[in-house]
Amino acid sequence: MTDKNLYILGLNSAYHESSACLVGNGEMVAAVEEERFSRIKHAKRARINNPDELPAKAVDFCLKEARITIEDVDYVAYSLNPAKRLKNMEIPDTVVEGDWGSIQGEQLFYNSLMKIPEKMREMTDTVQFYWVDHHVAHAASAFFVSPFDRSAILSIDGIGETTTTWLGVGEGNTMEVIRELQYPNSLGFLWEKMTKFLGFTEYDAAKIMGLAAYGNPDNYYSTFLKFVTINEGFTIDNDVMKFRMEDYSELEELFGKKREKGEPITERHKDIAAALQKVNEEIVLNLANYLYEKTGSENICIAGGVGLNCVTNGMLEERGPFKQMYIQPAAHDAGTAVGAAYYVWCSLLNRRRTYVMDTPFTGPHYSDREIKAVLDRSGLFYTYVENIEEKAASLIAAGKVVAWFQGKMEIGPRALGNRSILADPRNPQMRAILNEKIKHREWFRPFAPSVLEERAKDWFESNPPSLSARFMLFAFKAKESKKEMIPAVVHVDGTSRIQTVSKEFNQKYYRLLREFEKVTGVPLVLNTSFNSREPIVCSPQDAVNTFTRNNMDYLVMNNFLVSRKKKG
C-alpha cells in the first residue's frame, strides 16, 4: 500500500448538485460539480428515478487530473445510504401516489440507487463500493478537511435519507452523532416551500435571503411560531406545510394569498421573507448553543445547504458560543462527494488526516495555449498583457465591467476570484447595471465584495474568521464611516457578504485588489459569479460564450485582455 497511491472517488447524485471528488493518499486531487460541464443548473432536477444519472463528466475530469483510469480507483463512496432510507422511511397519510414518500415512489428511488454499484462494477471489477449516510458525508466534508482536531459539527439541509439535521462531535479520525432530527422537521424544506409560496422555484432560497433584508421580521415571526416550535432543536407541523404536496391552503390562511411568478413583490412578501430569515437564525443559534453545551468545544464545523446562509453565519460568529468556525465552501449537496471520500479515508480506513481544505480551487484549469486557441477561433480582439492585474484594476476603477477567468475553477455556488465578474464598488449605479444588463436577475439581489484580508476589519464591523471568510460565507455590517464609499456592495440592511483575500489564498487576485487600492484607496472590488442564468463558466469557450452574449466591457483570461470589438 505504501508504494502505491490509494484513490477514493466520492460521488453525489441522489438529489441535485451532482458532483465528484477524487482523493489520492489523503490529499484532494480534484472536486467538481457536474453542472459546470453539462451547463445545466444543478446538473439535474431531483427525481425519484434518476439518482443513477452519475456525474460522468465530473468523474472524467477527476480521473484525468490524476492521470489515472477508473481501474486505478480503490474505493467508491456514494453520499446516500438507500438501506437506511428504506428502514427509516415512514409513509405519511397525505402523499402523491408514485412520488416521494409513497411506497411506489420510494421503491423507484431505491431501485435507481441500487443501479449505481452495478454501473461501477461494469466499469471496474476491483473497486470497493461504500454507501455513506448523507448527513455523515456532509459532516465529514466539513470536519475531516477542517483545521481542527476536535470540533462540534452541525449539518442542516432539506433531507438526507430521513435525517434533516445532524449534530455531532469530531475528534481525530472519528465522528460521533449526538442527535439527529428527522423529516418533516426540515429547515431546508421550510426554505424550499416558503420560497415557492413567495413565487420562486425551490432552488431560489438565495433570492429570498436577499429579499429578507427589505422586510420587517416582526410582522410575521409570530405567525411562523404557530407551526414551527423552536427549542433545543425544532419541530415543524407538516399538516400546515404539506411538504410533499403542491398544497398551500394552510399557508394561505396564515400568510395570505400565495404569490404567483411574475406578480409584483409587495411589503407583505418582504416581511414574510424577513420573518423566515429570523426563524432560521433563531433555530441555528439554539442548535449551536446546544452543541456547545454537549461538546464543550470552542470550534464548530458546518455543512448542509442551510450553511450557505451568510446572514445566519455572520450572526453565529457574533452571537454564538464558538470561537472558531469552519464551513465547507460547497456546503450544499455538491460537498457530500468530498465528505463521502474523506469519510472512507479517515473513518473506514483510519488513515491520518493531512489535508485541510483551505481553498475552493479544485476544478479545471487551462493553459495559455488552450485559451489562445479559443480566442483565435472567436474573432475577438485580444492582447497579451504582462501586468494584467494592474491593467484590470485600472479598467475597473474607470467604471468598466471585467470578466476575470484564472487558474482552477471554484467548487461551490460562489465565484471566489477565478471565475468572477468584477466591477467598481464605489459606483452607486453598478448594482442596477449588473442586475439588469448582465446578470438579468431581480432588482433586490445584492452584490458582494472581495476585500484584502488584512484590511477587512477597517471596512467591516466584525473581524472575520480567517479561513471560511475566504469562501464568501459571512455577512457583516459595513462600517458607518465606509459604507457610503462602497454603495454597490452594501445591502439595504447595511451588511455585505464579504470574501477576504490573502496572498497565499489567491496571489493573482490579491495583486489585483492591491492595485485597485493603489488607484482608488479602496481595498475591495465587487465580485459576482461569471455567469448569466447558467452555471458558472468552466472553460475558455464558456467564458467567450457568456462574454459575447452579455454587456461586459472586457474579458481577462490568464494574461489575455479581450475586448468586445472584433478583429479588423
What is the residue whose three cell numbers read 476603477? 397
Q: List pLDDT tens digits, range 530-556.
A: 999 999 999 999 999 999 999 999 999
pLDDT at 2: 45
- Reading the block at residue 450, the C-alpha cell is 472581495
**185-237 pLDDT tens trace:** 999 999 999 999 999 999 999 999 999 999 999 999 999 999 999 988 999 99
Which cell goes with 536? 458558472
Active site residue 134: no
DSSP 554: E
Locate all alpha helices (DSSP H) within 256-305, ordered by sequence. Answer: 267-295
What pLDDT sits at residue 96?
Answer: 75
pLDDT value at residue 567? 65
Question: Residue 248 carries which side chain, given as an amino acid letter?
Answer: Y
Alpha-carbon distance of 347 to 172, in angstroms, equals 9
Q: What is the DSSP letter of 69?
A: -
Identify the CA nearest to 525 among candidates 388, 395, 438.
Answer: 395
The reply to whether 7-145+329-348 and 182-327 are identical in fold is yes
Residue among 16, 138, 332, 491 flagged as catalytic = 16
Q: Which helix (H) or strand (E) holds 186?
A: none
The alpha-helical segments, DSSP class H, found in 159-219 are: 187-197, 205-212
Whether CATH 3.90.550.10 fits 368-566 = no
Burial class (CB in 10 A: 0-12, 13-18, 19+), 237: middle
Helices (H), 362-426: 368-378, 388-397
Q: What's the mean per-residue pLDDT of the chain?
A: 96
Integer Cα distance of 421 and 81 in angstroms: 39
Tell me the pLDDT tens digit for each residue of 440-479: 999 999 999 999 999 999 999 987 667 999 999 999 999 9
Q: Give the containing element (helix H, strand E) for 62.
A: helix 56-66
- 10 Å CB burial of residue 228 (0-12, 13-18, 19+) is buried
Domain 7-145+329-348, architecture per CATH:
2-Layer Sandwich (3.30)
* Per-residue exposure over 100-139, b if at least 16 CB sit within 10 Å of its own CB, e if not: bbbeebbebbbebbeebbeebeeeeeebeebbbbbbbbbb
What is the CATH code of the structural domain delimited by 182-327?
Answer: 3.30.420.40
Pairing label, strands 299-303, 324-327: parallel
Strand 163-171 to strand 174-182: parallel, antiparallel, or no bridges (unpaired)? antiparallel
Low-confidence ranges of the chain (pLDDT < 70): 1-3, 91-94, 464-465, 566-568
**DSSP bridge pairs for 527:** 422, 448
CB count within 10 Å of CB 282 equals 18
Q: Using DSSP, state whether 140 is helix, strand or coil.
A: helix
Other C-beta atoms closer than 10 Å to the C-beta of 384 total 11
Length of the chain: 568
Structural domain boundaries in the chain? 7-145+329-348, 182-327, 368-566
Q: What is the pTM of this model?
A: 0.97
